[in-house]
Amino acid sequence: MRPRRALISVSDKRGVVEFAKALSDMGVEIVSTGGTAKLLRESGIPVKEISELTGFPEIMEGRVKTLHPKVHGGILADRSKNEHISAMEEFQIEPIDMVVVNLYPFKETVKRGADLDEIIENIDIGGPTMVRAAAKNFKHVAIVTDPADYDKVVKELKEKGEISLKTRFYLARKAFNLTAHYDALISEFLYSIDETGKKVECRELPNPLTITFEKVQDLRYGENPHQRGAFYREVFVDEPCVSLSEKVHGEKELSFNNIYDLDGAFNLVLEFDPKSDGVACAIIKHANPCGVALGSTPQEAYEKALKVDPLSAFGGIIAFNSKVTKEAAELIIQRFFECIIAPEYQEEALEVLKTKKNLRVLTTKGLKGLERRGETSPFDYRRVVGGLLVQDRDLITVLPEKLKVVTDREPTQKEWEDLLFAFKVVKWVKSNSVVYAKDKVAVGIGVGQTSRVDSARCAIEKAQMVGIDLSGAVMASEAFFPFRDSVDEAAKVGITAIIQPGGSIRDKEVIEAANEHNMAMVFTGVRHFRH
Which CATH number fits the domain that encloses residue 10? 3.40.50.1380
- Structural domain total, the chain: 3
- The structure's pTM equals 0.90
Please tell me whether residues 257 and 135 are part of one structural domain. Answer: no
Q: What is the pLDDT of residue 55?
A: 83
Contact 294, 441 (CB under 8 A): yes
113: amino acid identity, one letter: G
pLDDT per residue as tens digits for the range 454-475: 999 999 999 999 999 999 999 9
Q: How far apart are CA 59 and CA 453, in angstroms?
A: 72
What's the mean per-residue pLDDT of the chain?
Answer: 95
| pLDDT (mean) for 111-127 | 94
Please tell me whether residues 353 and 412 are part of one structural domain. Answer: no
Q: How far apart are CA 78 and CA 66, in angstroms?
A: 19
Q: What is the pLDDT of residue 201?
A: 84
Please tell me whether residues 429 and 479 are part of one structural domain. Answer: yes
286 catalytic, yes or no? yes
pLDDT per residue as tens digits for the range 221-267: 999 999 999 999 999 999 999 999 999 999 899 999 999 999 999 99
| pLDDT (mean) for 485-497 | 97
Q: What is the pLDDT of residue 2?
A: 92
In a domain, 198, yes or no: no
pLDDT per residue as tens digits for the range 188-219: 999 999 999 999 988 999 999 999 999 999 99
Contacts (Cβ under 8 Å, ≥6 apart) of 442 = 289, 291, 292, 293, 305, 308, 421, 422, 425, 435, 436
Evaluate if residue 501 carries a pLDDT over 80.
yes
Q: Which residues pair with 380 in a beta bridge?
A: 391
140 catalytic, yes or no? no
The percent of residues above 90 in pLDDT, for the chain, comes to: 91
In a domain, 378, yes or no: no
Q: What is the pLDDT of residue 134?
A: 97
Of the candidates 82, 84, 76, 13, which has an alpha carbon nearest to the alpha carbon of residue 42? 13
Residue of 286, 326, 354, 414 marked active site: 286
Residue of 13, 21, 48, 136 marked active site: 136
Please tell me whether residues 496 and 408 are part of one structural domain. Answer: yes
In a domain, 215, yes or no: no
The percent of residues above 70 in pLDDT, for the chain, comes to: 100
In a domain, 384, yes or no: no
Please tell me whether residues 361 and 434 are part of one structural domain. Answer: no
In a domain, 232, yes or no: no
Q: What is the pLDDT of residue 107?
A: 96
Evaluate if residue 397 carries a pLDDT over 90.
no
Which CATH number fits the domain that encloses residue 321? 3.40.140.20
Domain of 465 in residue numbering reads as 400-523
Please tell me whether residues 283 and 171 are part of one structural domain. Answer: no
Please tell me whether residues 356 and 439 are part of one structural domain. Answer: no
Q: What are phi and psi of 234, to 5 degrees?
A: -60, 145
CB atoms within 10 A of CB 408: 12
Please tell me whether residues 162 and 41 are part of one structural domain. Answer: yes
SS3 131: helix
Boundary of a domain, candidates 190, 208, 228: 190
Please tell me whether residues 19 and 167 are part of one structural domain. Answer: yes
Of the candidates 399, 365, 409, which has an alpha carbon nearest to the alpha carbon of residue 497? 409
Q: What is the pLDDT of residue 52?
A: 86
Boundary of a domain, candidates 367, 391, 411: 367
Please tell me whether residues 345 and 478 are part of one structural domain. Answer: no
- What kind and span of H or E run contains 403? none
| pLDDT (mean) for 141-148 | 97
In a domain, 393, yes or no: no
In a domain, 389, yes or no: no
Confidence of residue 400 (pLDDT cuts 50, 70, 90): confident
Dihedral sign for Cα 500, 504, 508, 513, please.
negative
Please tell me whether residues 24 and 171 are part of one structural domain. Answer: yes
Boundary of a domain, candidates 348, 367, 386: 367
Strands (E) across 83-234 are located at 98-102, 142-144, 213-218, 230-234
Helix boundaries (H) for 333-405: 347-353
CA atoms within 13 A on the CB side of 292: 32
Strands (E) across 312-411 are located at 316-320, 337-342, 360-363, 379-384, 387-392, 404-405
Q: Which residues pair with 384 in a beta bridge?
A: 387
Please tell me whether residues 142 and 273 are part of one structural domain. Answer: no
Q: What is the pLDDT of residue 380?
A: 94
Of the candidates 260, 117, 303, which has an alpha carbon nearest to the alpha carbon of residue 193? 117
CA distances from 248 to 3, 329, 339, 347, 450 (A): 46, 14, 11, 12, 40
Evaluate if residue 67 carries a pLDDT over 90.
no
